[in-house]
Structure 1
Amino acid sequence: MRKEIINLLKKENKLSSKALSEIKNLEIDDFANTIKEIGKKETKYIKALEISKNLTNNHIGKDIYIYKEVSSTNTVAKFLSQHGVESGSVVISERQTDAKGRSGKAWASPLGGVWLSFILYPEVDHSKLPMITLAAGVAVAKALEKIGVENPEIKWPNDIMINGKKVCGILTEAVAKFNTIENIIVGIGIDANLNVSDFPEELQEGTTTLKEYFGKNIDENLLIKILLEELEKIKDLFNDREYESILKEWRKRSYTIGKIVEVRKPFNSYYDAYVIGIGKEGALVVEKIDGTLEKVISGECIIKN
């Protein structure tokens, strides 16, 4: 995190041409207020005023920090979460240079996408934390529906699909101290006003964008506003322990249920299975070839043709 924050300060000319040895001795926490101030400066494409206009949320998006370029909005959100920002604060960047998806996979984030993270201080049982990713997926799908996308689907656990291709990924990370979860960072990346050719060649297959879906650019600020509204609604359901309501909405949009998948688990363990459904704690329920049932809590499911 330290390296990323220093790079952000350099890009914004908040550090003079100090020698590397001097930079190493900097107390990065001393720059927390500067990082906040940078996030309140006007940016070219993403506009806080347009997002906040008529936004009635009481929690998510009440405080918004927008940057021209960061390594990762999740990284900046983690840093800010440790320096006094409120739960529900949102970090947005017009571009990310070193974003990651699940399992450390590269996530291309060029100019034109919607790249944001928000901070939560959830007061729930830790067993329910995997539900946060599913809930965020429902919010993204509903937001896409509201701007005119027909039948966006959710691929367990964290991808949003349009016509069988990925348009959005979600990365949920816990910030822990002494084995206690202090807060949760939820990162959302939506391929909005981009062409598939804007991505590295190795990431193009199986990817789509909203621009390609609609045949034109969409209003990114409006999409962010709608997304924050849907996140607020799903957050209220989560806080009220309405987990079954969230799962019902997830199941309606599931891209994974009813398909044959290859389940890839940690330590290179994998097997084929049929996806039956999703359990109340957010685990995928699959039937293995031998007929036994298993709950998949972590790992990856590759849809088989």
Structure 2
Amino acid sequence: MLEPMTAKQVVLAEYLRARRSALKPEDVGLPPDPQRRVQGLRREEVAERAGISLEYYVRIEQGQNHRISEQVLDALARALDLDESGRSYLYRLALPSPFDTRPVRPDHEVSELLRSMLDQWAGTAAVIFDRNQDLLFVNTLAAALSPGYVVPGNNYVEMMFGTPAENRSNERWRDTASDTVAALRFHADPDDPRLQQLVAKLTPDPDFAAMWAAHEARPFSSGLAPNFVEGYGWVELPFQVLDVPDGLFMNVIVCEPDSPAGFAIEHLLARLRAPDEFDESDAPQSEASAEAGAEPSAAAR
């Protein structure tokens, strides 16, 4: 009798099938075949490239193999042309990890020391969140950047797909949403009930469903995010995501002083220091300020 598949084995099987389907024959040096009826590579082509038997590969792809050696994983990563992030994700799905042994904690706690440190960063916006992208702690400047959205208890992925359908047509939204979903898949634990709850809630959204089914997996990194600053307008804010203790992450907005982003932060700080004295008519307005809407800022991620 076959042993029941764990959530990780199910995801591993799905990931291998998705990566196989995403590869074109010409991507791996095979001649294009107009008669090919399979999207991507065939199972036998992956098995041959990895130097393993077709039967063994089929068992892995069907989640029936419970122990895979690092040598085989390395061969599969090469066969599927995985980048460093994809290789890391493949290893985490297939090999035992700390997620399998550490006790489940329903709620992460941000240490008082870390909270105190971020509160003292008066000129730096910072947010602490977990592997499911649930926000745990938000300092004053970060809360002011996206009032009503970036607050503890909210979730980055839910906020991203809370954007109305009519505002999703631009390429920037799709890129940011894709990165958000890829980071959720890369960092979250498939056995975590919170992840399962989040995915079930968002799957009816066709954009989320398509991005989740693509099985892209990338870690949090850095980049530019458009953000509407009240009284200033739209501005690109540079962000960097850092690891912090207890498996948590910190998103930090880091701006050069004499840059549009730096001016926007200074404008917001002036509002926070003296809200009753600040004159909006003196604030510079970006050309895009008229486009401000009700959707959440992308600077959250």
The TM-score bracket by the shorter chain reads: under 0.3
Bigger share in helix:
2
* Greater relative contact order structure (CA < 8 Å, 6+ sep): 2
TM-score by length of 2: 0.26
Bigger share in strand:
1
Larger Rg: 2
